[in-house]
Every structure is written in C-alpha cells, then in structure tokens.
C-alpha cells in the first residue's frame, strides 16, 4: 500500500473511534503526507461524551478539520446514498468522490462495494492501514500497535491478522 504525497483523507466514525480507543487520534496530525477531514455528519455520529471531547480537542488542535457537503449535486447524491448507507458513510463517499479524497473507514459489505464502484479500492484506508503507515513512519512500534490491536479486540474490532509483524514489511 502506498499513499501519494499529500493525500486528504475523509474519516468515518468507526476509524476515528478506533483511534480514540487506542489513544492514537494524534496519527491524524502526525502521519506524513496525510491531512484528515471529518464530515459534519460523522461528527454528529460520535455521541459518547468522552469520544466527542477527544474529537473536538483534535479539531481545536488542528489535527483534523470538519467539512460539510455544500454543492447541490453533492447534496442530491448524499440523499440518494443515505437510503442505503449511514449518514456518515454517505457523507464520506460524497466528499471523496467530489474532491478526489481517500476514505478512512472500516465499514464492510455495501459501503465497500459503493466505494469500489464509485472511487476504487485504492482510495480506502482502514484502521489497520493507518497503524501500518504509523509503524512505517516510526510513530509507533509493532509491539505498541499489537497492544492497541488487543485493546481494540476487547471493543469488538478485530483485524484479520495475529500481529502487525505479519503485515508490515521491513520490520
């Protein structure tokens, strides 16, 4: 997986919550060549007070910024997509499609098919991908990432490998 220079990533709630659970929301500020944005629809989905506070703090610290769907054609597409997808997922896809951005989401099935059909599978990153990028950037060790992986599994988020050592090259 390679990420082109300065790629904007529109983040879905599930990835943000996973980063919050791992105390790694700072990846949004520190991952090289990536700028993270959050649709206002996604921000509304993060309702747990501690999670919302962490997100708001990241916005205040300019680790990420809140964006909105403004164009009439985008609003129409959002209305079409929200029939089949959640509001946050629909907003992420609309903004990625409009702006050429990458989507950060761990959603499966219908959302993955919509992303693949509309923008391609090379423009989607999941929580595991962000950890791999962070390991490669020296922001976290494999051992730290594996500890976070175990923590996330207690919160019902399972990655399809035993250790990041299995998926990170050159470590």
| pLDDT tens, residue by residue, 49-99 | 999 999 999 999 999 999 999 999 999 999 999 999 999 999 999 999 999
Q: How many domains does the chain have?
A: 1
In a domain? residue 72: yes
User: In 10 A of CB 75, how many CB atoms?
Assistant: 12
* In-domain check, residue 1: no
Residue 77 lies in a domain: yes
Contact 146, 164 (CB under 8 A): yes
pLDDT score of 162: 93
What's 34's domain CATH number? 3.40.50.1010
Distances (CA, A) of 156 to 29, 50, 150: 26, 18, 10
Asked whether residue 171 is domain-assigned, the answer is no
Q: What is the domain range of residue 15?
A: 10-166
Q: Is residue 28 one of the residues assigned to a domain?
A: yes
pLDDT along the chain (171 residues), means of 10: 69 96 94 94 95 95 94 95 94 95 92 90 93 95 96 92 89 59
Tell me if 5 is assigned to some domain: no
- Is position 109 within any domain? yes
Domain assignment present for 135: yes
- What local confidence, expressed as pLDDT, does residue 3 receive? 47
Q: Is 51 left (phi over 0), alpha (psi -120 to 50) or beta?
A: alpha
Number of H helices, E strands in the chain: 9, 5
- Strands of the sheet containing 34-39, edge to edge, are 64-67, 34-39, 7-11, 102-104, 124-125
């Amino acid at each position: 997986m390679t990420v082109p220079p300065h790629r904007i990533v529109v983040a879905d709630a599930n990835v943000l919550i996973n980063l919050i659970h791992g105390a790694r929301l700072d990846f949004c500020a520190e991952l090289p060549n990536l700028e993270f944005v959050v649709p206002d629809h996604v921000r509304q989905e993060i309702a747990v007070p501690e999670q919302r506070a962490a997100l708001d703090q990241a916005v205040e610290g300019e680790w990420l910024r809140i964006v909105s769907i403004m164009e009439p054609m985008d609003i129409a597409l959002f209305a079409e997509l929200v029939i089949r997808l959640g509001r946050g997922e629909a907003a992420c896809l609309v903004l990625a499609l409009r702006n050429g951005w990458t989507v950060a989401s761990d959603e499966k099935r219908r959302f993955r098919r919509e992303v693949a059909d509309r923008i391609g599978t090379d423009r989607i990153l999941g929580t595991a991908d962000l950890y791999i990028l962070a390991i490669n950037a020296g922001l976290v060790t494999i051992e730290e990432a594996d500890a976070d992986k175990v923590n996330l599994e207690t919160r019902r988020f399972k990655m399809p490998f035993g250790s990041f050592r299995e998926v990170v090259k050159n470590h």
